[in-house]
Amino acid sequence: MPKITVSRTLLCGLVAGLVMNVGEAVLHARVLGQETEALYKTLHAPAPNPSQTIPLLVATTFLMGIVTMWLYAAIYPRFQNRNKTAIIAGLLVWFLAHVWSGVYLGAGYSGIFPSKLAWIPVVWGLFEATLATLAAARLYPE
């Protein structure tokens, strides 16, 4: 069984994380920005401090990209096909991160958290995780 190339996994993971971070920025600033702002106003809650939350979210998303590419590298020998393996790894990450989050927010905070804010990120994440993994897999050696 081939060994995982750690340096390449980290580099490709950062690429996947970059794609995911760009997607998240567009989603939360452009697509859901007004709805999120309205939720904070409705709840009479102060908006989060971007200087505290954005670095944490960006770093965590880069970490998710690295984990995604580690998963890709770990399962590649079984599937032996770059695109198929990337899609499978992307779908697993999507399910574990995005679907779980949508169910948690949509069901766990039903009546407080609008469905749109819970489920649009799930659908968005399907494309984001898959495309990020496909893009980063192009850089990973076979």
Q: Using the predicted structure, report yes or no on whether residue 108 has a pLDDT greater than 90.
A: no
- Alpha helix segments (H runs only) across 1-142: 6-25, 33-42, 50-79, 82-93, 100-108, 115-137
pLDDT in tens, 1-25: 678 899 999 999 999 999 999 999 9
pLDDT in tens, 123-138: 999 999 999 999 999 9
Spatial distance between the Cα atoms of 51 and 76, rounded to a whole number of angstroms: 38
Residues with Cβ within 8 Å of residue 85, at least 6 apart in sequence: 72, 75, 76, 79, 137
Q: Using the predicted structure, report yes or no on whether residue 111 has a pLDDT greater than 90.
A: no
Angle at alpha carbon of residue 63, lines to 125 and 129, rounded to 5°:
20
Please tell me whether the overall predicted TM-score, pTM, comes out greater than 0.85 for this model.
yes
